[in-house]
Structures are given as C-alpha cells and as structure tokens.
Amino acid sequence: MKKIGIMTTGGDCSGLNTVIHRIYRGATLRGWQVIGILDGTDGLCTTPPRIIKFNKDTLPIENARLAGSFLHNGHAGALNFETAAATGKLPHFNKQLRKSLQELNLDALILIGGNGSISLAWRNREIYSGLQLVCIPKTIDMDIPLTDKTIGFNTAVQQLTSFCDQLMLTARSHHRWFITQTMGRDCGQLALNAGIAIGATAILIPEIKFDINSLVAHIKNAPTDYGIILVSEGVSLRGHSGKPADIISRKLTAAGITNRTAFPEHTQRVGDTTAADRILATRMADCALHAIENNETYVMTAINDCECKTVSLNEFFHAGSVNPDPNIPDIQTSDAYVSPDDPLLDIATDMGIYIGETK
C-alpha cells in the first residue's frame, strides 16, 4: 500500500480544497493511505511533523468548493525557504525538511504550489530524494511556464469581474472613472482576462509600456464619461513611487477627469471555486495520481491543448524566464508572462481598449 502526502504552499486561492479532496478520493480507490502536511514547509519543521491522516470525514465533498486551503499555507513567522534564508537558518531548514519527510516514510509527495514553490522544489530537489515528487500548479497570477491553466485563476478572474461589475453601476451613476488595481505580481494575465470580461476602457499590465498622456487622451475621447481602468499591481511608472492606481488617479485628476481608486485585494483569492476550476482541479489530481502509479518523479501536471499530462520540473524551470529570487540568495525562479502574441491583446485593441503603446 502506497503512502502519499499532500502539501499546499505559497499564497492561497480557490480550488485548493477541490484538488485535495480529489486526490484523497482517487488515492483511496487505489487503496493508498493519504496524509496532509499542515502549514506547508513549516509543518515539516516541528518534531514530530504536523500532519492530518485523511479519512472519509476529513474534508467532506460539500466543503471542497470552498476557498483557502484545509491544510493551511503557513502563518506569520512560519518557517519556509524565504524566512529561513532571512534568519540564516537555510542549511538547518533544508536538513529538517529531508529528515521529516524520511520520518513520515512517504512513497510520494504531491506539492500544490505556485511558480516560486515549484521552482524551489526543483532547485532543492535533493530534499525529496527517496520519494516521488509530483507538483500541481496553482496560482491566480497564471505565471507558471508550460501550462495553459493553473488552479485558482478562473475563480480569481470571476471574483475580479464580479467586483468590477458592481463598480460599474456606481461609476455610471456618478459619471466617474474607477482605477481598479488587480493582483498578479509581474504578470498581467489576471488584469487582461478580467478587463476583457468587463469591457474595461483601459487595461494596463507590466508587460506593455504605456504613456500616461495617451491614456488621458483615450479616457477623454471615450464614448462614455464613466468606466473602469484595470491596472495590474506590477505596473511601474518612471519617476513615480507608490501604488500604480494611486499614481494614475492623481494624473487623471490633474487632467480634470473625475475618478476614484478601488482595491479588491484578497477578494481575488477567495470565492466559491468555479466549475471550470473544479474540473481543472479534478483533472490535475487524476493526472498526479497516474504519475505516481507510473513511478514518475520531479514532474508537474500541466494542461496544454486541452490535454492534461506531466512535464519534467527541469523542463518547467528552463521554459520560463529564469530570474534571481529577490528574497533567497543563490535561488532562481521561473516566471511566465503575457506573450506579445496573446490573442487577447489583439481583441482588446479591436474592442477599443487602451492597452499601451505597442499595439
């Protein structure tokens, strides 16, 4: 009988509980034992490691739709790669992770994480030697290379769309513009997709440079005197510091354009998991279980051309833009961004949406 562990790391998002539930369901049908590791890597840094042994009542199916992670993703002061590096405990941290995983006597570990977590797993792969490591990509940022979809992204787009739908009503009532700042870090996928969904007047993302005067002119020439400008949090304006939405708001105010800022913040990371994300979570859980059956290791589940299969972590890592991790010395992270060939960019232009100066 195989013994597998599940761990969620990094930021939370909708869909984590769905994939946890589906892994447990598929594993028990195979006669396997399933444990959950609490608080990500922090749960492996105590003696004994903090775990939950799954049974049919641990995570009821009706709760699998809920946002967040039943296993938690850490807490303030949790010991992870970043905090260990900051406190000079990285060698001890790596040793403790390996020791705890050996004590748990796992045959396989399914790590559900973002591009940072998966990059770290590959760069520190010796920690997981002796067991099968299968990663499942989750993030609202959609910044993971080699997969067309990540768990949590669809729900985040829906959450942001619903938020902006309500803003649009008060915008119309008061003849004003709302500059809404989205999450997404250095990747503009969340802003781009939600912007297309709501019919934004402008979408500003980190991948495309824009001119503030062109933006002002576009707003002044818009067919309405209200609407929404979506600004990704990773956007920067030369010579300015602060939140992008605040900077742009001041520029519009100076140009005589009535506006307000709005920050949906963590509402983008919650909400009942959409059907699309539940289906994706189920497909990736099934793919991960098949990978364990096939004795695969150091792999990630991925959706490409509607097909769900595994790709090697080595291939994942080198397929993206490999950048130094700003918080962990000598560690790099593989990032994906909005491609210049993304069809949504052309669609935005065709719909009269201002997206910057390159299109």
Could you give the CA distance from residue 298 to residue 285 in angstroms, rounded to a whole number?
16
pLDDT digits (tens, 9 = 90+) for 15-40: 999 999 999 999 999 999 999 999 99
- The CATH number linked to 127 is 3.40.50.450
Domain that holds residue 127: 3-152+273-319
Range of weakest confidence among 70-79, 139-148, 188-197, 200-209: 70-79
Residue 76 pLDDT greater than 90, yes or no: no
Say if residue 268's pLDDT is above 80: yes
In a domain? residue 358: no
By mean pLDDT, which of 37-51, 237-251, 289-303 is the weakest?
Answer: 237-251
Q: What is the average pLDDT across 146-172?
A: 98
Contacts of 88 (CB under 8 A, 6+ apart): none
**CA–CA distance, 264 with 41 (Å, rounded to integer):** 29
Token pair in block for residue 301 = 């589940």
CA distance 186 to 320: 13
Cβ pair 349, 202 in contact under 8 A: no
Taking only the tens place, the pLDDT of each residue in 226-257 is 999 999 999 998 878 899 999 999 999 999 99
Asked, for residue 84, whether it belongs to a domain, the answer is yes
Task: Tell me if 325 is assigned to some domain.
Answer: no
Q: Round the average pLDDT of the chain to a whole number and report it.
A: 96
Inside any domain, residue 198? yes
Q: Which of 141, 143, 186, 335 is catalytic?
A: 141
Give the global pTM. Answer: 0.97
Specify whether 286 is catalytic. no
Residue 186 lies in a domain: yes
How far apart (Å, rounded) are the C-alpha atoms in residues 14 and 278?
A: 9
Q: Are residues 240 and 277 in the same domain?
A: no
Cα(24)–Cα(5) distance, rounded to whole angstroms? 10
Q: Do 198 and 347 meet the contact criterion of CB atoms below 8 Å apart? A: no
Sign (positive or negative) of CA dihedral 278, 280, 284, 290: positive
138 plus 183 within the same structural domain: no
Domain at 216, CATH number: 3.40.50.460
Average pLDDT over residues 159-184: 98
Residue-wise pLDDT for 323-346, tens only, equals 998 889 889 999 999 999 999 999
Q: How confident is the model at residue 358 (pLDDT cuts 50, 70, 90)?
A: low
Q: How many domains does the chain divide into?
A: 2
Average pLDDT of span 48-76:
95
